[in-house]
């Protein structure tokens, strides 16, 4: 891999930054300390820094030469509401919060690239480095777009990556088209009539009705959606009642929905609403459905994906670049940036290969610091190649 000497020299500093961020996690739209440290570093590298879009974001801009061409590279900054169980000496100092997805690493890699890009000045155009808040829960990318990100910082293309601890170390994984799923959520409330558990005939039992809804929902993917169209409907929460001899008056459930095709997404919503209300009516009850659409599907653009693939093959070697055979059912709010500008979202393998790796969102997960110079060097190469003079 072509890792510049100045980046190799800065590895100890990058590790220190990453571990400091790891020790001080902040939730979405609360990344005050993180954004301050990021902005201070970027200013010291010579970037024009803008703060405040989506509350805690940082956007760094650097121009060189005469070209009007521009590129955007995004890193996410937020942590998760998880109690860390790594036992590391730099583990989270805030109980109940941790960087369990590697956003501390993503931020640090882009900071490393920022420094290298500024020092080398081997590009012709404008670089916008976007440090985004609230990827995990609040759709920080959508907020930034809505607040005028691309009007204020025009980008001809936009790029982002995510570490993948289950993939071989240093392997690039990408695909054209859909790469992450759209995610929606339905909250269903069944309204019955409670009473004594010994006299069920005098009640309208919402638990029985709710159980029927749960089972009927399982038929949507198997009987209403084409077998070649990926979709998931998961009842992740069901709450009703308190003790065995009381029939409650209501049951509540939360349903997670994942899909890629907009028409499939519409059909999933239609069928969930129909099943919940019709099942409830068949039991002499009523049901309400609060259906919320969250992140859209993340869809890569062909030209930009080809660009990343070709560059990765030159950077790491063809054997280190793999095509994703199918998209991930996880979601990613970078989708909202890709709807506005062409670009590519890809994965970088970080497995240590010794069985110690934990999956993303696990309380024992820890970003692999050996990825820092690789990610920083690749972002540097990508910016320079895209803005080649």
Active site residues: 78, 135
**Whole-Å CA distances, 190 to 125, 169, 193, 240, 379:** 58, 48, 10, 10, 51
Evaluate whether 42 touches 114 at the Cβ level (below 8 Å): yes
SS3 label, residue 93: coil
70-76 and 157-164 as β-strands: parallel, antiparallel, unpaired? Answer: parallel
Q: How far apart are the first and last CA of the chain?
A: 23
Q: Quote the tokens at residue 163.
A: 């570490």
| Cβ within 8 Å of residue 344, ≥6 positions away | 157, 159, 174, 300, 301, 304, 305, 307, 308
48-51 and 58-64 as β-strands: parallel, antiparallel, unpaired? Answer: antiparallel
Q: Give Rg (Cα) of the chain.
A: 24
Q: How far is CA 271 from the centre of its chain?
A: 27
| Cβ within 8 Å of residue 176, ≥6 positions away | 300, 301, 302, 305, 306
User: What dihedral do alpha carbons 6, 7, 12, 16 form, nearest 10°?
Assistant: 120
Beta bridge pairs of residue 130: 59, 74
| Calpha distance 372→14 (Å, rounded) | 7
| Calpha distance 369→352 (Å, rounded) | 10
| Calpha distance 51→53 (Å, rounded) | 6
How many other CB atoms sit within 10 Å of the CB of residue 8?
10
């Amino acid at each position: 891999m072509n890792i510049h000497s100045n980046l190799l020299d800065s590895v100890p500093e990058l590790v220190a930054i990453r571990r400091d961020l790891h020790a001080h996690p902040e939730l979405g739209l609360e990344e005050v300390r993180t954004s301050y440290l990021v902005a201070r570093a970027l200013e010291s590298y010579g970037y024009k820094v803008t703060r405040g879009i989506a509350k805690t974001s940082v956007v760094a801009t650097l121009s060189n030469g005469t070209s009007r061409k521009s590129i955007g590279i995004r890193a996410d900054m937020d942590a998760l509401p998880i109690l860390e169980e790594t036992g590391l000496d730099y583990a989270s100092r805030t109980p109940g919060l941790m960087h369990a997805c590697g956003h501390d690493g993503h931020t640090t890699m882009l900071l490393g690239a920022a420094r290298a890009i500024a020092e080398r000045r081997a590009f012709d155009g404008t670089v916008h480095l976007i440090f985004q808040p609230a990827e995990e829960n609040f759709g920080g990318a959508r907020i930034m777009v809505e607040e005028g990100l691309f009007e204020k910082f025009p980008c001809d293309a936009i790029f982002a990556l995510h570490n993948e601890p289950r993939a071989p170390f240093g392997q690039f994984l990408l695909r054209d088209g859909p790469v992450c799923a759209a995610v929606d959520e339905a909250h269903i409330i069944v309204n019955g009539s409670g009473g004594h558990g010994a006299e069920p005939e005098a009640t309208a039992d919402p638990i029985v009705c709710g159980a029927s809804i749960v089972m009927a929902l399982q038929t949507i993917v198997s009987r209403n959606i084409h077998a070649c169209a990926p979709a998931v409907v998961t009842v992740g929460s069901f709450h009703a009642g308190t003790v065995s001899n009381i029939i409650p008056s209501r049951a509540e459930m939360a349903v997670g929905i994942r899909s890629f095709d907009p028409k499939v997404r519409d059909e999933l919503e239609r069928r969930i609403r129909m099943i919940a209300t019709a099942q409830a009516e068949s039991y002499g009850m009523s049901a309400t459905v609060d259906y919320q659409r969250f992140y859209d599907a993340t869809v890569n653009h062909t030209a930009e994906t080809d660009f990343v693939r070709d560059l990765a093959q030159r950077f790491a070697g063809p054997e280190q670049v793999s095509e994703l055979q199918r998209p991930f059912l996880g979601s990613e709010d970078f989708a909202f940036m890709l709807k506005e500008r062409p670009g590519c979202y890809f994965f970088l393998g970080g497995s240590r290969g010794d069985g110690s790796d934990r999956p993303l969102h696990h309380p024992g997960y820890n970003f692999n610091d050996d990825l820092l110079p690789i990610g920083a060097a690749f972002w540097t190469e990508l910016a320079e190649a895209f803005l080649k003079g």
